[in-house]
Amino acid sequence: MEMICESDKLEDYLREGNEVNYSNSLIKEKVGELFSATQTEVEKVKVAFEFVRDEISHSWDIQGERVTCIASDVLKYKEGICYAKTNLLAALLRAQGIPTGFCYQRLMLFDTPDKGYSIHALNAVYFKSLKRWIRLDTRGNKEGIDAQFSIDEERLAFTTQEKLDEVDYPIIYTNPTPKTIAVLEENIDAIEMYKYHLTQYL
């Protein structure tokens, strides 16, 4: 699939925002732990991706009720749904001057269409050394889900099934969409949120 950038300016994918708060002291501390001057761009992205994928638990997987949103809170509490985890990866990479955007898929919430749909969030990262964008999914692996870092081919958590009305959206957004952020801001129980209140459309 050919990706479409919301902005043609890479600096728009480096901006700090309410959710991508990389000036926060917790984010700065983690940046100091994860990265070094000797790492290549590819190595930095791999380290950050694997940290968020593996060390930040997906709320549904752990049946955690806490709702996190802004990057520093996701890092502090080490849990969140995909909307929150993408904020953290963006913060870590933007802090290193690596352009990072937000992408979305519309997926079945569980295993059949009658159980509803939801918007799933992932990141797209621009590799200056490769001169291209690559999508990465920090959702978190478990049985049946095996998202990996790869600069050769996408290895995402989910493959969309168009015949079941799933959608792979091509746009790389500069900021998380207002609809997904509203979900996080309007709910106080992550389990109830995940089952009943995730947005179904961008």
Answer yes or no: are the C-beta atoms of 17 and 91 closer than 8 Å: no
Q: What's residue 63's pLDDT?
A: 98
Beta bridge partners of 11: none
Residue 124 inside a domain? The answer is yes
Q: DSSP 3-state assignment of 116? A: coil
Burial (CB count <10 Å: 0-12, 13-18, 19+), residue 193: buried
Tokens 């709320």, located at residue: 59
| Percent of the chain whose predicted confidence (pLDDT) is above 70 | 100
Residue 202 inside a domain? The answer is no
Instruction: Residue 181: give the domain boundaries.
Output: 4-197
Is the per-residue pLDDT at 176 higher than 90? Answer: yes
Tokens 């990389």, located at residue: 22
CATH for 83: 3.10.620.30
Q: What's residue 145's pLDDT?
A: 96
Beta bridge partners of 127: 132
The helix-helix angle for 82-94 and 25-34 (nearest 10°) equals: 70
pLDDT, tens digit, 9 for 90 and up, residues 114-151: 999 999 999 999 999 999 999 999 999 999 999 999 99
Q: What's residue 91's pLDDT?
A: 98
**What is the mean predicted confidence (pLDDT) over 46-51?**
98
Looking at every residue in the chain, the average pLDDT score rounds to 97
Q: How far apart are CA 19 and CA 71, in angstroms?
A: 6
Is the per-residue pLDDT at 111 higher than 90? Answer: no
Residue 49 inside a domain? The answer is yes
Q: What's residue 46's pLDDT?
A: 98
Burial (CB count <10 Å: 0-12, 13-18, 19+), residue 26: middle
**What is the mean predicted confidence (pLDDT) over 96-111?**
96
**What is the mean predicted confidence (pLDDT) over 105-113?**
93
Residue 193 inside a domain? The answer is yes
**What is the mean predicted confidence (pLDDT) over 93-98?**
98
Looking at the 3D structure of the chain, how many domains does it have?
A: 1
Answer yes or no: are the C-beta atoms of 103 and 5 closer than 8 Å: no
Q: What's residue 68's pLDDT?
A: 98
Q: DSSP 3-state assignment of 173? A: strand
Q: How far apart are CA 151 and CA 166, in angstroms?
A: 25
